[in-house]
Amino acid sequence: MPGFTDICSMHILLVSATAREITQTSEWLRLHSNTTEQLVTGVGQLQTAFHLLKKIYTHRPAFIIQAGIGGSSNPEDMGKVFSIYSEKLADLGVEEQKHFKSIFDLGLGEPDIFPFRNGVLVNPYARVIEWSDFTLREGITVNEISTDLSRVNSLKQRSRPVVESMEGAVLHYVCLMEKIPFLQIRSISNVLGDRDKTRWKLDEAIANLNVALIGLVQKLETIDETLFRI
């Protein structure tokens, strides 16, 4: 593994589903950094998987940051920024008698075969997560944004809040398979199930996300390569 003590030699890839989510960071990078490359994939798992893998195989990065907004099951999370340490494919399966069964429940996948741990995609780079100093949240990735009240209420009743996105699990899966250190950062724009956008904090979430991202890139100037060991 290459050394990471010199920021000038480290190729960082910043990934986002849309350009709007990282506009302020993009402007800052244009003026202050020539080592961080940006990739806007488009929304959803398919586009993210294709464009992320294409970029990796063209110019393999040393570290990948995925950044974007998301929904949370906890209303108190609105506007806050979190690091997502695990991801679950929340709607890959079947709904039977108002009960969701995952592909693992159905016997169509092995929940403990790499890169999964008990059906979850966990970021193993614990030192990077601790170093980044964000509050942690579990993530769920969906193809359809959660609006079903029974599903939303089930998520809200969990012992720990979850953050919903449409791309997070792809980052975790690809980076685990490719053995590339990574970090997923999400800022909360809305509560799960609430489609009244007058109650969303979209602008605040994006603003806070970009402040956090710029600070993170600046911190990378003091990176130590031991952070990238599992």
Asked if residues 66 and 168 have their Cβ atoms less than 8 Å apart, the reply is: yes
Q: What is the pLDDT of residue 4?
A: 38
Q: Which residues pair with 222 in a beta bridge?
A: none
Rounded to the nearest 10 degrees, what angle do helices 168-178 and 45-58 cross at? 30
Q: Which residues pair with 70 in a beta bridge?
A: 188
Rounded to the nearest 10 degrees, what angle do helices 202-219 and 23-32 cross at? 30
Q: What is the pLDDT of residue 2?
A: 40
Q: For 160-189, what is the mean pLDDT? A: 95
The answer for residues whose C-beta is within 8 angstroms of residue 31's C-beta and 6 or more apart is none
Residue with tokens 């012992």: 159
Domain 7-228 part of CATH 3.40.50.720: no
Find, among 169, 136, 141, 174, the residue nearest to 155 by Cα: 141
The predicted-structure confidence for 120-148, as pLDDT tens digits, reads as follows: 999 999 999 999 999 999 999 998 766 66
Asked if residues 93 and 212 have their Cβ atoms less than 8 Å apart, the reply is: no
Domain ranges of the chain: 7-228
- Is residue 6's pLDDT more than 60? no
How long, in residues, is the chain?
230
Find, among 77, 27, 28, 65, the residue nearest to 168 by Cα: 65
- Is residue 187's pLDDT more than 60? yes
The predicted-structure confidence for 68-125, as pLDDT tens digits, reads as follows: 999 998 999 999 999 999 999 988 888 787 778 888 988 999 999 999 999 999 999 9
The predicted-structure confidence for 37-58, as pLDDT tens digits, reads as follows: 999 999 999 999 999 999 999 9
CA distance 204 to 212: 12
- Is residue 151's pLDDT more than 70? no
Question: Which comes out higher in pLDDT, residue 100 or 177?
Answer: 177
Q: What is the pLDDT of residue 154?
A: 62
The predicted-structure confidence for 201-218, as pLDDT tens digits, reads as follows: 999 999 999 999 999 998
